[in-house]
């Protein structure tokens, strides 16, 4: 075999043929490799973030493009094993796609808007429930369960004020740098509160003996 090769490349035409074959193989190999690296590179730059929160007995799914490669959302994978096919408009940087669902989504499949054969599957992030923080120089007042009567709340000491209302309300007493005391009218709740805390009151209407509100 090596003798044949030596005889072949000893002739100029044989050398040229051998060179052409070699170069063609090298170029073909490089082209295949280039196609592969392009695919992987584009995949690496698809940066979808998918999130879900429970809402109104179902789920609210949001998908955002955090990268600069535009993509379309193709499929949503649900917890039961089923999938939903979608075909969104291309999402560019910081653009959202949202969908209300009855089942919990677990993953989404997005494909490049430039090269549709390049796709990635992204997990759907779940949710947390947290207290909304109260600034350290404030007291959050929450009045719940408004009934058929009005109520009033007065606070004094480090901060003073009064509010009369007949509905649920949430508001801040701010700024306050020490404890405040409360005077309650038709309310049940704490008699004092400290900065950075929440004071929750429930409306407690007086007995009206079955009379309508305008005859109390």
Partner 1 sequence: MFTAVVLAIAVAVGVAAVAITWPMVKSSFDRSSWSSSMGMYKVGLTYTKNGPYAYAQNGVSAPLSSSPSPVGYCIAYKYNATTAIYSCPSNQPTG
Position 40 contacts partner 1 (CB under 8 A): yes
CB atoms closer than 10 angstroms to residue 72: 19
Burial of 7 (0-12, 13-18, 19+ CB in 10 A): exposed
Position 194 contacts partner 1 (CB under 8 A): no
Instruction: Indicate if the alpha-carbon torsion angle 29, 34, 39, 45 is positive or negative.
Output: positive
CA distance 80 to 105: 9
Of 45-53, 109-117, 159-167, 179-187, which part binds partner 1 (CB under 8 A)?
45-53
DSSP 65-105: E-SSS-EEEEEEEETTS-EEE--PPPB-TT-EEEEEESS-E
Binding-residue pattern over the window 59 to 98 for partner 1, x denoting contact by CB under 8 A: -x-x-x-xx---------x-x----------------x-x
- The residue from 142, 149, 184, 187 that contacts partner 1 (CB under 8 A) is 142
Position 188 contacts partner 1 (CB under 8 A): no
Q: What phi and psi, each to the nearest 5 degrees, are found at residue 173?
A: -100, 115
Our CB check for partner 1 shows the closer of 127 and 156 to be: 127
Interacting residues with partner 1 (CB under 8 A): 9, 15, 18-19, 22-23, 26, 29-30, 33-34, 37, 40-41, 44-45, 47, 49, 51-55, 60, 62, 64, 66-67, 77, 79, 96, 98, 104-107, 123-135, 138, 140, 142, 144, 168, 170, 172, 174, 198, 200
């Amino acid at each position: 075999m090596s003798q044949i090769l030596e005889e072949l490349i000893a002739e100029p035409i044989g050398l040229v043929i051998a060179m052409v074959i070699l170069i063609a193989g090298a170029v073909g190999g490089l082209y295949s490799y280039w196609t592969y690296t392009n695919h992987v590179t584009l995949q690496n730059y698809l940066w979808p973030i998918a999130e879900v929160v429970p809402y109104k007995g179902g789920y609210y799914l949001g998908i955002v493009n955090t990268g600069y490669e535009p993509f379309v959302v193709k499929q949503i994978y649900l917890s039961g094993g089923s999938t939903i096919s979608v075909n969104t408009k291309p999402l560019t940087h910081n653009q959202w796609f949202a969908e209300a669902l009855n089942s919990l989504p677990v993953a989404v499949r997005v494909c490049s808007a430039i090269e549709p054969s390049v796709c990635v599957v992204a997990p759907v992030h779940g949710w947390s429930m947290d207290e909304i923080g109260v600034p350290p120089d404030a007291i959050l007042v929450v009045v719940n369960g408004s009934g058929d009567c009005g109520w009033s709340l007065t606070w004094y000491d480090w901060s003073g004020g009064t509010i009369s209302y007949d509905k649920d309300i949430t508001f801040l007493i701010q700024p306050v740098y020490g404890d405040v005391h409360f005077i309650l009218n038709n309310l049940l709740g704490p008699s004092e509160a400290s900065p950075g805390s929440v004071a929750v009151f429930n409306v407690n209407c007086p007995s009206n003996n079955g009379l309508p509100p305008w005859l109390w």
